[in-house]
């Protein structure tokens, strides 16, 4: 089969890879309908993370089940499924508490290379959720978004306790930040401040429910959030970047007693203890338990109540993955979908 392989920073190729097959009786093999490039794929692409030799890429996927192992009971060949970027048993104590990416049997899907024609999904019963039927073609981008960026933005909003009566600020205007706006709106937040200086992203943020746009960053961005919140800061701040600057912008934009939900994968971040201590914020985040939210998110998409697929502003065939990476790296695209 064909699949995306990164050879070095900036060097992404579509190559022949070995066909996946059932290895464990709890596996499924799916034929992908679509996959996509994640903001976190850009870290190795930009050389910020090391690329240790040719590496299959991608961790977002939707598709049709082709085959299941002998112990799989809840998923059948022919079903259209969405899965999370962490395979999880969904039965251990950590999963039952809602933290599937920390499942005691977790498998990171990135290692399996989901930007490909076919994919082995471990722990299929605990990882995959079937849609009510075969989706209309126009629903596929939204269902694909649910497998990571929507679920991640959703977790950010939940971790930040976005909800009725609360003012929410979102740091980061990538797909996750934009979908955190959508999530905050769905969760009933009163006021949603998107921090963005890019017009197309501001427009999408407004479409997803942002009530205010702040273009300033860093300490100036913090000052602007304080101005908009009687000098106190927002109740809920979602961090969707992962840098030192964005984390500090998030923490400092939050009022004492408020909540920071951080979902940008941290890179070279060090939080100074004393500032955190006196900030009085709640801090929670990490890899999103997408699996926990999938049934609800699929339902919202199926009923066409939300349209998270709008974050895909570039659609290319799998073979043009290199251009998809380039477009996202150069910020010409918010997020690139690869049709398989």
Binding residues for a second copy, per CB under 8 A? 93-94, 97-99, 101-102, 104, 230-232, 242, 244, 247, 255-257, 262, 265-274, 276-287
Spatial CA neighbour of 171 closest among 223, 232, 216:
216
* Closest approach of a second copy to the CB of residue 206, in Å: 28
* Closest approach of a second copy to the CB of residue 284, in Å: 4
* Closest approach of a second copy to the CB of residue 305, in Å: 28
DSSP state of 152: H
- Pick between residue 142 and residue 161 the one whose CB is nearest to a second copy: 161
Tokens describing residue 39: 């903001």
Q: Three-class SS of residue 148?
A: coil
Tokens describing residue 61: 């996927």
* Closest approach of a second copy to the CB of residue 247, in Å: 7
- Pick between residue 26 and residue 88 the one whose CB is nearest to a second copy: 88
Tokens describing residue 337: 């979908």
What is the Cα–Cα distance from 141 to 159, expressed in whole angstroms? 25
- Pick between residue 136 and residue 268 the one whose CB is nearest to a second copy: 268
- Pick between residue 51 and residue 232 the one whose CB is nearest to a second copy: 232
Tokens describing residue 35: 């996959």
* Closest approach of a second copy to the CB of residue 39, in Å: 14
DSSP state of 190: S
Phi, psi dihedral angles at 211 (to 5 degrees): -100, -20
* Closest approach of a second copy to the CB of residue 118, in Å: 29
Taking CA atoms, 95 is separated from 101, 106, 211, 233, 334, in Å, by: 8, 10, 35, 33, 31
* Closest approach of a second copy to the CB of residue 160, in Å: 12
- Pick between residue 52 and residue 231 the one whose CB is nearest to a second copy: 231
Strand partners, 16: 2
Q: Three-class SS of residue 154?
A: helix
- Pick between residue 204 and residue 283 the one whose CB is nearest to a second copy: 283
- Pick between residue 42 and residue 271 the one whose CB is nearest to a second copy: 271
Q: Which residues contact 220 (CB under 8 A, 6 or more apart)?
A: none
What is the Cα–Cα distance from 339 to 62, expressed in whole angstroms? 11
Tokens describing residue 123: 């722990």
Residue corresponding to tokens 């999408």: 204
What is the Cα–Cα distance from 68 to 72, expressed in whole angstroms? 6
On whether the CB atoms of residues 179 and 240 are closer than 8 A, the answer is no
* Closest approach of a second copy to the CB of residue 53, in Å: 22
- Pick between residue 60 and residue 239 the one whose CB is nearest to a second copy: 239
What is the Cα–Cα distance from 282 to 276, expressed in whole angstroms? 9
Tokens describing residue 4: 């995306």
- Pick between residue 283 and residue 324 the one whose CB is nearest to a second copy: 283
* Closest approach of a second copy to the CB of residue 155, in Å: 11
């Amino acid at each position: 089969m064909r699949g995306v392989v990164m050879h070095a920073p900036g060097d992404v190729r579509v190559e022949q890879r070995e066909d996946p097959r059932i290895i464990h009786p709890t596996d499924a093999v799916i034929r992908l309908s679509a996959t996509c490039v994640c903001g976190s794929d850009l870290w190795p692409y930009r050389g910020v993370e090391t690329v240790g030799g040719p590496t299959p890429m991608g961790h977002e996927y939707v598709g049709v089940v082709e085959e299941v192992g002998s112990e799989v009971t809840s998923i059948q060949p022919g079903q259209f499924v969405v899965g999370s970027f962490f395979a999880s048993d969904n039965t251990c104590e950590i999963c039952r508490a809602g933290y599937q990416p920390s499942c005691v049997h977790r498998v990171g899907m990135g290692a399996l290379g989901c930007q490909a024609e076919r994919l082995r999904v471990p722990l299929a019963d605990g990882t995959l959720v079937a849609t009510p039927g075969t989706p209309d073609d126009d629903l596929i981008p939204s269902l694909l978004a649910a497998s990571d960026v929507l679920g991640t933005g959703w977790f950010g909003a939940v971790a930040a306790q976005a909800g009725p009566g609360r003012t929410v600020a979102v740091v980061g205007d990538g797909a996750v930040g934009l979908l955190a706006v959508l999530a905050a709106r769905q969760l009933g937040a009163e006021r949603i401040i998107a921090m963005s200086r890019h017009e197309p992203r501001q427009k999408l943020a407004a479409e997803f429910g942002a009530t205010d746009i702040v273009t300033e960053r860093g300490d100036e961005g913090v000052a602007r959030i304080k101005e908009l919140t009687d000098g106190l800061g927002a109740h809920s701040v979602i961090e969707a970047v992962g840098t030192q600057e964005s984390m500090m912008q998030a923490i400092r934009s939050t009022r004492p007693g408020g909540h920071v939900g951080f979902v940008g994968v941290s890179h070279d971040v060090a939080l100074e203890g004393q500032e955190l201590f006196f900030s009085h914020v709640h801090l929670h985040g990490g890899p999103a338990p997408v699996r926990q939210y999938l049934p609800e998110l699929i339902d919202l998409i199926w009923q066409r109540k939300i349209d998270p697929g709008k974050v895909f502003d570039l659609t290319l065939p799998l073979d043009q993955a290199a251009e998809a990476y380039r477009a996202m790296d150069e910020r010409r695209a918010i997020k690139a979908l690869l049709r398989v």
